[in-house]
Amino acid sequence: MPSPDPLRFRLNGHPVEVACEAPRILLDLLREDLGLTGTKRGCDLGTCGCCTVLLDGRPTLSCLTLARLVAAREVTTIEGVTPANGLSPVQRAFVEHGATQCGFCTPGFVVTATALLRDTPHPDRPEIERAIAGNLCRCTGYRKIVDAIAAASREVA
Amino acid sequence: MATDSGPRYRLLGGRIPYIEGPLKVTGRAEYTDDIRRPGMLVGRLLRSPWPHARLRSIDTAAAQALPGVFAVLTGEKYPTPFGVLPITHDETAIAVGKARYIGDILAAVAATDERTAERALSLIRVDAEPLPEYTDPRMGVTKVAEPIHTRGLLGTNIQKEVVQHFGNVDAAFAQAVHTARVRGNFAGVTHAFTEPMATIAEATPDGRLTVWSATQVPHYLHRALSEVLGIPMHRIRVIKPEVGGGFGGKSDPLPHEIVCAALSLETGRPVKILFDREDVFYTNHGRHPTQNDVRIAIDGTGRILGYDIEAIIDGGAWSSFGTVTTYYNGVLAMGPYRVPNFRYRGRRVYTTKPPSGAMRAHGGTNIRYSVEVALDELAEMSGIDPFDLRSRNALPPNSKTVNEFRITSTSFLKCLAAAREKSGWDEKFRKLPYGRGVGLGCGFYISGSNSPIHFTPKIPQSTVHLKVDMDGGIAVHSMQADIGQGSNTLLAAIVAEVLGVDLERVHVQRVDSDVSPIDIGSYSSRVTFMMGNAARAAAEQLREKLVRAAASLLDRTPESLEVVRERIQEKDHPTTGVSFLEALHRAMEKEGALTASGSFDTSPLGGSFKGARAGTAPAYSFAAYVAEVEVDRDTGEYRVPKVWAAFDCGRPLNRLAVEGQVEGSIHMGLGQVMGESMSYRGSRLFNPSLLEYKIPMPQQMPEVEILLVGDDDPEGPFGAKEAGEGPLIATLPAVGNALYDAVGVRFTDLPITPDKVLKGVDQRRKEGRLWKGE
C-alpha cells in the first residue's frame, strides 16, 4: 500500500509535516507521533473532554477527529496556549483557585476556557458552565473551575 | 468558630495552592501513559465473554505465531492467588480454571503495536463450559449448584458474614415509643476518575523489575508483585507518577499490573498496558450494590434506644476489601449518635459481576442513607425537629460507642448549630411551598483505619524522610500517594511550617520504592492524619539540629531561640539571629547533608471481640448537611440549588484543598443519589462508558456553603482530621430527606430518578395522603 502524502498543518503556530495514515486519530498523532502528551486520553468516545484542542480556534475533541482532517488547518494544544515563560491568566487562576486537583482533566478545561475568554471576555456563570459542559471533572465538583474562569475573565481587559 | 482560636500558624490553616499546580495546568505533569520507554511493547488483555465458565483449554498457538507478537500468557504461569486483604486472597493475575465475570482476564499478549496485539487476541481460542450465573446476591445466600469460589461459606456464595450484638436490642425495642424501618436499595456506583488505569513494567538484565503504575497504594502493589511473581521486594521498584484520580478504584493491587510485569519478564522488554474506558468500567471495584433493612427505636423524649440492621452486599466476583465492607456497613451506622443497643447481620455475597470494592466513604454511605432517613421519619412521628432529635443523641467528646470505638474530638453539635442557622432551617422546614423542601443528613467517618492491612513485619503506618544539603533545598520522601487530594502540598507545607522556611524550598519527591520510606498509601482517609504526624516528627528533628547550630553561632542556648520565617533568632532580642542557610551550613560542618526520619503508628484501639478492630480510627470526622431541593411537578426532575455543608475535620490545614474535597464529595454524592447507576442485564454491565454512566454536569452542581467548625483534634497533626471521604456521606440523606419535605414521599431506592419521583407522588395520592396543602 503506498503511503499517503505527508500531512501538513500548523501546530501551535508552527508548520508541521508528518507521515500520517488515513485512520490515524488526531489524539494519537499528537501524543504518540509528535510527543505532545499534555493532551489527555480519558475515554476515546468524545465524552470526557480531556483531549480537547483548538482546531482553527474552536474547542475540538481530538479523540473524535481524524488527523488528516486537520490538513492545512491550525491546531492549538495545551502546549500552545502556555506562554514560553510562566502561566497564562487562565492557568494562573486555575492554580490559585484550586481548580485543579488530580489534574488529568485540567489541560482540556484550560483549552476550553482559553477559547471561551477569547470569544466572550466577560462571561457570566451560566455562560461559563455551558462552555465547560463538554469537559468532565470528577474531583472538584466544578465550582472552583467556574470560579477560576470567572477570575481570569476579570483580568481580561 | 473554634479554629479561630488556638495557635496560629504561618502557612497551615491558610489557602495553599497545589505545589504541582503549574505542571498540571500546562499539561506538563507526568502521568503513567505519558511515559515512553525504549523498545516498549503494547500489552493487551483477552477478557471473558462469559459471566461464569469452566475453562477447558486455551489455544494460543496461532497468536504466538503471529509476527510482532512477543509473548502470550495464560493463567497457569503465575497462579499464586493475591488480593488486597491477606485473609482473602482469591484473585489471580489471569484466570485459572474458571472465569468469574464478563471482563475477567483470560489471556494476555505483548506485541510491537496495538493492532498486532488486538489481532493476536482474536486468534486465541478458548474452550469453555458455561456455568450458572449469579446476578443477585440473594441467589447466593443458600447452597448453590456451582459456588463462584470454593472459599464461599458452606457451599454458598457468601464471602463474609458478620453478626454482632451489643446490649439487648429486643429489650430496647420492647420499650420503644416510636420505631421506624427503612429498607434501602442501592444500585452500584463507580469512581469514574478521568485517568484510565495504566501500567508500564520493565524487567532489566540486572535482575530487577521497575513498575510505573497509576495506583493509590504503591506499597500494596509492591507486595503483590513480589508474592505473585516470586521476586523479592528489593528487586522490584514501584514508581507512582501523577495519578488522575482514584477515589478507591486504584487502591487494590490490580491484575493488569501484575500481568504487565509478567509480560515484561517474559519478553525482556518494557511493556505498557493502558486501559480504555470499558476496561475501567469492567474492573470497577466501585461501591457495592446493597440492600439494607434498618430499624431504629426511640423513647418518648427522642433518645435512641437501639438499632437493628441487616445488609446484603453484592460483592461481584472477588473479595477485594469486602470483609472490611461487611463490617463497615454495620459499625459505621452508629456515630455520630450514642446507640446503646446494636444488632447487625451483614452478608457480602459473591456474584458473577465485576468486583465491588472501596469507593470514597467506603462502607459508610449506603447504610448512612437508610439510618438518616429513618431518623427523619422518627422526628416526624415524635414531633421533634430533625435537628433536635439528632442533637439529643450526639456522642459527646471523649466517649466510647457501645462497640468500643474511642471518640476523642467531636464538633458534631457545632456542625448541627451551624447548618441549622446558616440554612435558615427554622423558616424553611415544612414551610416551603409544595415541590420545594429542605432536608438534613449527617455523617461520620474514620480518619484513617487504625489497623494496617499487613501486620508482618510490624512497621509504622507512615514514615517520612527529609534531606537538606548545602543548597538549602529540602527533599521529602514518602510513599503517601497524592492522587489529586493535595497530600504532596500538605506534606511540603508541614515541613515548611516546622522549619520556618518558604514553601519553595521544599521538594516532594515522586513515590519511588527504591528511595521512599513506606507509607501504606491513600485510602481510608488516613494520609493527613498519619503522614502529617510523621512529617511533623521528621521536621522537628531537623529543626532541633538547626536551632542547636544557630545557638552555637550566636553563643546562646537553644532554648532561648525561636524559628521564624527563614531565620532563627533570639526570642527576647529578635535582632540577634542567623539566617536559615547560616544555621544549615554550621549544622553541616560535621555530618554533611542533614537527614531526618519521622514516623507515625497507631496504638491498639477497640474491644477484644471478633472483628473489634473494624472501624476503629485514631479520630473521626462529623458532618451535618442541609440540602434544598426543587421538584418539577410534571417531569419529576429536581434540582438542588444549595447545600449547607457543616463539617468537622478538626483544624483545616489547607482550606483550599478541604473546600475542594467537600465540593467534590458533594458532586459525587449527588451523582449517586440523583442518577448514577452501574446498570446490569443479568450479569452484563450495560453502561460501560461515560456517555451512558452519567456524572452530574456543572449546571447540576449546587451552590455550596462550607462551614468548617471543627475544634482541634488532640492527636491529629496541628489538630487536623480527615476531609477526603466523610464530606460525601451526608449529601445523600440530605437530598433524600429534602425530597420528602418537598413532595411527601420517602425514597429508599437509589438513585432517585425522576420516574421514581413521579411514581412515588402518584402512589401517595392514591393512598389518599395529601402533602403541604396540595
Q: Looking at residue A2, what is its pLDDT?
A: 62
Residues of B in contact with A47 (CB under 8 A): 277, 689-691
Co-location of A57 and A18 in the same domain: yes
- Domain span including residue A26: 7-81
CA distances from B55 to B47, B60, B75, B76, B283 (A): 13, 14, 10, 12, 20
Q: Looking at residue B774, what is its pLDDT?
A: 85
Compare CB distances from B25 to A42, A44, A94 and report the shortest one's residue: A94
Rounded CA-CA distance B684/B47 in Å is 13
Which of A43, A59, A81 delimits the end of a domain? A81
Q: A30, A104, A124, A142: best mutation site toward chain B, by most B Cβ within 10 Å?
A: A104
Residues A98, B484: C-beta atoms closer than 8 Å: no
Which of A40, A57, A81 delimits the end of a domain? A81
pLDDT digits (tens, 9 = 90+) for A97-139: 999 999 999 999 999 999 999 999 999 999 999 999 999 999 9
pTM score over 0.80: yes
Residue A63 pLDDT > 80, yes or no?
A: yes
Compare CB distances from B483 to A42, A47, A102 and report the shortest one's residue: A102
Co-location of A62 and A102 in the same domain: no
Residues B656, A42: C-beta atoms closer than 8 Å: no
Cβ-contact A123, A116 below 8 angstroms: yes
CATH number at residue A139: 1.10.150.120
Q: What cell does B131 get?
A: 456455568
Confidence band of B482 (pLDDT split at 50, 70, 90) = very high
Query: Taking CB atoms and an 8 Å cut-off, how many pairs form between chains A and B?
Result: 171
Burial of B486 (0-12, 13-18, 19+ CB in 10 A): buried
Cβ-contact B42, B114 below 8 angstroms: yes
B656 touches chain A (CB under 8 A): yes
Residues of B in contact with A105 (CB under 8 A): 194, 244
Rounded CA-CA distance B438/B435 in Å is 10
Which of A81, A99, A122 delimits the end of a domain? A81
Helix (H) or strand (E) holding B622: strand B620-631
Compare CB distances from A79 to B27, B664, B699 and report the shortest one's residue: B27
Rounded CA-CA distance B679/B692 in Å is 10
Co-location of A12 and A77 in the same domain: yes
pLDDT digits (tens, 9 = 90+) for B114-126: 999 999 999 999 9
Confidence band of B421 (pLDDT split at 50, 70, 90) = very high
Strand intervals (E) in B317-374 = 342-350
Helix (H) or strand (E) holding B674: helix B655-674
Percent of chain B with pLDDT over 90: 98
Minimal C-alpha gap between A52 and chain B (Å): 12
CA-based radius of gyration for chain A: 16
Q: How many domains does chain A have?
A: 2
Q: Looking at residue B229, what is its pLDDT?
A: 98
Q: Looking at residue B3, what is its pLDDT?
A: 47
Confidence band of B294 (pLDDT split at 50, 70, 90) = very high
Averaged pLDDT score across all residues of chain A: 96
Minimal C-alpha gap between B707 and chain A (Å): 16
Co-location of A99 and A33 in the same domain: no
Confidence band of B1 (pLDDT split at 50, 70, 90) = very low
Residue B389 pLDDT > 50, yes or no?
A: yes
CATH number at residue A32: 3.10.20.30
Residues A140, B659: C-beta atoms closer than 8 Å: no
* Residue A1: inside a domain: no
Compare CB distances from A106 to B25, B30, B656 and report the shortest one's residue: B25
Minimal C-alpha gap between B691 and chain A (Å): 6
pLDDT digits (tens, 9 = 90+) for B326-379: 999 999 999 999 999 999 999 999 999 999 999 999 999 999 999 999 999 999
Confidence band of B590 (pLDDT split at 50, 70, 90) = confident
pLDDT digits (tens, 9 = 90+) for B44-94: 999 999 999 999 999 999 999 999 999 999 999 999 999 999 999 999 999
Rounded CA-CA distance B333/B371 in Å is 7
Minimal C-alpha gap between B579 and chain A (Å): 29
Helix (H) or strand (E) holding B627: strand B620-631
Co-location of A15 and A37 in the same domain: yes
> Mean pLDDT throughout B402-408?
97
Residues of B in contact with A130 (CB under 8 A): 699
Q: Looking at residue B4, what is its pLDDT?
A: 56
Residues B25, A37: C-beta atoms closer than 8 Å: no
B195 touches chain A (CB under 8 A): yes
Co-location of A99 and A127 in the same domain: yes
Rounded CA-CA distance B230/B197 in Å is 24
Q: Looking at residue B287, what is its pLDDT?
A: 98
Backbone φ and ψ of A129, nearest 5°? -60, -40
Task: Assign 3-class secondary structure to B510-574.
Answer: CEECCCCCCECCCCCCCHHHHHHHHHHHHHHHHHHHHHHHHHHHHCCCHHHEEEECCEEEECCCC
Architecture of domain B2-28+452-600 in CATH? 2-Layer Sandwich (3.30)
Closest listed residue to residue B234, CA positions, set B243, B226, B245: B226
Residues of B in contact with A42 (CB under 8 A): 194-196, 244, 277, 690
Residue A56 pLDDT > 80, yes or no?
A: yes
CA distances from A122 to A92, A113, B275, B304 (A): 17, 12, 39, 54
Co-location of A70 and A13 in the same domain: yes
What does the buried/exposed string (b/e) look like for A14-40 if buried means 16 or more CB atoms within 10 Å of the residue's CB?
A: eeeeeebeeebbbbbbbbbebebbbbb
Residues of B in contact with A125 (CB under 8 A): none
Co-location of A56 and A24 in the same domain: yes
Co-location of A125 and A149 in the same domain: yes
Minimal C-alpha gap between B252 and chain A (Å): 19
Closest listed residue to residue B328, CA positions, set B673, B725, B736: B725
Handedness of CA B424, B428, B433, B439 (dihedral sign): positive
Co-location of A12 and A67 in the same domain: yes
Q: B37, B112, B193, B194: best mutation site toward chain A, by most A Cβ within 10 Å?
A: B194
Residues of A in contact with B242 (CB under 8 A): 102-104
Dihedral Cα B605, B606, B610, B613, nearest 10 deg:
-50
Residues A140, B20: C-beta atoms closer than 8 Å: no
Nearest CA in chain B to A103: B24
Compare CB distances from A95 to B22, B34, B276 and report the shortest one's residue: B22
Residues of B in contact with A77 (CB under 8 A): 27
Confidence band of B267 (pLDDT split at 50, 70, 90) = very high
B699 touches chain A (CB under 8 A): yes
> Mean pLDDT throughout B422-436?
98
pLDDT digits (tens, 9 = 90+) for B220-250: 999 999 999 999 999 999 999 999 999 999 9
Confidence band of A3 (pLDDT split at 50, 70, 90) = low
Confidence band of A1 (pLDDT split at 50, 70, 90) = low
* Residue A2: inside a domain: no
B242 touches chain A (CB under 8 A): yes
Closest listed residue to residue B623, CA positions, set B485, B734, B714, B527: B734
> Mean pLDDT throughout B160-171?
98
Residues of A in contact with B31 (CB under 8 A): 40, 104
B18 touches chain A (CB under 8 A): yes
Residues of A in contact with B667 (CB under 8 A): 138, 140-142
Which B residues, 261 through 320, put their C-beta within 8 Å of a C-beta on chain A?
A: 274, 276-277
Strand intervals (E) in B373-447 = 399-400, 406-407, 436-446
Q: Looking at residue A157, what is its pLDDT?
A: 59
Q: Looking at residue B773, what is its pLDDT?
A: 85
